[in-house]
Structure 1
């Protein structure tokens, strides 16, 4: 009877792994079909392919003779997951060469441990604990990324799904780390953690699949799990534009209260609320006397912003550009202009300004003030204010 029960559990285990692998492969195929050549699509496909790889090599009856080359690659999956979390939950994240170098370094270290195990088992065990620590650090970094950007995230579907995705993935990475500390192969065939691992993989795959396939075809994908395949998590939508009089153009595809958008525009352009230090979306919602979730929806679906800071920075940078172009303020330090516009330090201001204009604030001021026939714009500033 015990053997029959074990065979039944093994069959369930393999079934979950097969279903998860099928969904992950479908996500990769959809990503390839959409042909989105950016870092988010690349990391999403890497995550999905890694899920298939993990499901196979940690399955019951997987040959032990293959562990020497599969476990080193498996040990680098936390790095892929960390990079995916950065790209999915930080719209300003940019993939660097050193990120790829980190992944290669972990794989190379894993191969060194695997090949050196027969000759130096004690040293290899110590190295395995180092890999376990690395996995825990990367998992913690991914969790911190979720908390760090939670409040400013305007995409409601991404806010709802990100915690579930991260909790499950961090738990899986934790299992890998615990296995490393215990000096046992990760989810080895017959180990007690094999079925929970398979179930976790299945849940992750289903969440990713639902995030992808439930998104409306006519609207940009808005959640982090769909971004695994679509690669659109880092794209900053700009569907709204404003004329000099402050008129707001609303996306006709979404049902957002135009009166709320006009009140919001008045707060930003007339009262310059964006200059308030430490302005949070909850504070802004209180000023407008609306629930916070309605304001998030208005800014995201009506104006096309995925991030509250990006929404504020648009007004702040325009304010700073006017000040930097004003000949009467040529002696005012850039830091003062940045803080007057609402930035709390010079670093974030410089990064946001260069991302928006392509030049640094100092370069922008130099170019603006050196134009022939440059007029005094102080009157223009008073009219706009």
Structure 2
């Protein structure tokens, strides 16, 4: 394609991307989100719009210089966004902000040291490139490792898009084109046009479409504390009016009853290494039907969380049993289906706000008190 045509396409894609990013920023500011997923989406959208403009052809190189410190930390934001999007238990921690700030400081060092210490700038730029690759790989790792347990069909599709997008970023941006320094001023190649710039613009546009699809989808907006008027303007149409949804099979009550029998009566959750595929095989149903039943019929978004609900109930019953007061907590955790004490302790505290030892102590004291009160009533 002729250079002029390629540049025109480049600018068009960047315009579309920056427009989508800006629209998301405005909507999210209006919604005043509090959950980490939406907050990180706001920061990512603002950075995406800035990067699309600052690295566009014909934009002065000085613009890239002064926006570099913040733009260089976008891989950190994207990694945190992936964690918040795909991990229902994710919470922002102070050290996440410290990592972001450290990358920003490195970006400022690279930007401000160029006129005086070009060697320092080159070293910092290489460090930023390595960090960008590392956080892209971390985003892929986060997306893939929890993919199997994800029960939300829409989110599973989003995972696939995130993996493809990050692979494209690693191949075309973070490696050869993120911070090209040899023989050129920092950022000059980023906004000089050509095939490399077009690939960056195309990647940004895909990212913008992906992020907007995720933001304006019903599942995403439902989690935000949105005013009714605003929510009505951004939520997808009601489920019963979505095209093709009437052809989707409803969750069968018989399947839910069979699943409940397996979990409550046969206690299959105690089985070591139980996977959703293995559970589907025992129920003799396709895996996607079981995912739909657990997600839409029972309200669980994650298979491990679904299993842990029964495992924790089992463990709490054992911890409250006076006849098992001398049974080690590790034994109770293993019997309930947990593989080790660490995940059990974390899941138990998240569900009860107490450690297993504290729960056992309080439960046994309460039971002893109730027994004594009953004895006194009978004596009277």
Return the TM-score normalized by structure 1. 0.83
Matched, 1:21 2:23: no
Where does the alignment leave 5 or more consecutive residues of structure 1 unmatched?
223-229, 231-253, 377-385
CA apart distance, 1:25: 2.0
CA apart distance, 1:211: 3.6
Q: Secondary structure at the match of 2:218?
A: coil
CA apart distance, 1:118: 1.7
Match among 366, 373, 385 for residue 369 of structure 2: 373
> How many Å separate the matches in 2 of 1:33 and 1:113?
35
> How many Å separate the matches in 2 of 1:123 and 1:214?
45
Matched, 1:199 2:199: no
> How many Å separate the matches in 2 of 1:188 and 1:333?
64
Match among 98, 102, 105 for residue 99 of structure 2: 102
Aligned to 1:257: 252
Aligned to 2:35: 38
- Residue correspondence of structure 1 range 139-154 to structure 2 within 5 A: 139-154=136-151
Where does the alignment leave 5 or more consecutive residues of structure 2 unmatched?
225-230, 232-248, 373-380
Distance 1:213 1:127, change over 3 A: closer
Match among 308, 333, 338 for residue 328 of structure 2: 333
| C-alpha RMSD over aligned residues | 2.3
Number of positions where the alignment pairs a residue of Structure 1 with one of Structure 2? 342
Deviations 1:49-81 (A, max 9, x none): 121111111111111122322122111111001
Q: Secondary structure at the match of 1:70?
A: helix
Distance 1:51 1:67, change over 3 A: closer
- Residue correspondence of structure 1 range 58-69 to structure 2 within 5 A: 58-69=55-66
CA apart distance, 1:183: 2.0
CA apart distance, 1:6: 2.6
> How many Å separate the matches in 2 of 1:348 and 1:266?
26
Aligned to 1:301: 296
CA apart distance, 1:83: 0.4
Confirm or deny: 8 A CA contact 2:269 2:311 kept in the other structure.
yes
Match among 340, 359, 363 for residue 364 of structure 1: 359
Confirm or deny: 8 A CA contact 2:7 2:194 kept in the other structure.
no
Aligned to 2:169: 172
CA apart distance, 1:36: 2.9
Distance 1:339 1:368, change over 3 A: same
Deviations 1:353-373 (A, max 9, x none): 011111111110111111243
Matched, 1:347 2:345: no
- Residue correspondence of structure 1 range 44-193 to structure 2 within 5 A: 44-172=41-169, 174=171, 175-179=173-177, 182-183=180-181, 185=187, 187-193=190-196
Match among 276, 282, 287 for residue 277 of structure 2: 282
Confirm or deny: 8 A CA contact 2:179 2:190 kept in the other structure.
no
Deviations 1:99-122 (A, max 9, x none): 011111111111112111122212
Return the TM-score normalized by structure 2. 0.84
CA apart distance, 1:341: 0.3
> How many Å separate the matches in 2 of 1:118 and 1:28?
34
Most deviating of 128-137 and 266-275: 128-137
Distance 1:41 1:278, change over 3 A: same
* Higher helix residue share: 2
Q: Secondary structure at the match of 1:197?
A: helix
Most deviating of 164-173 and 305-314: 164-173
Confirm or deny: 8 A CA contact 1:87 1:94 kept in the other structure.
yes
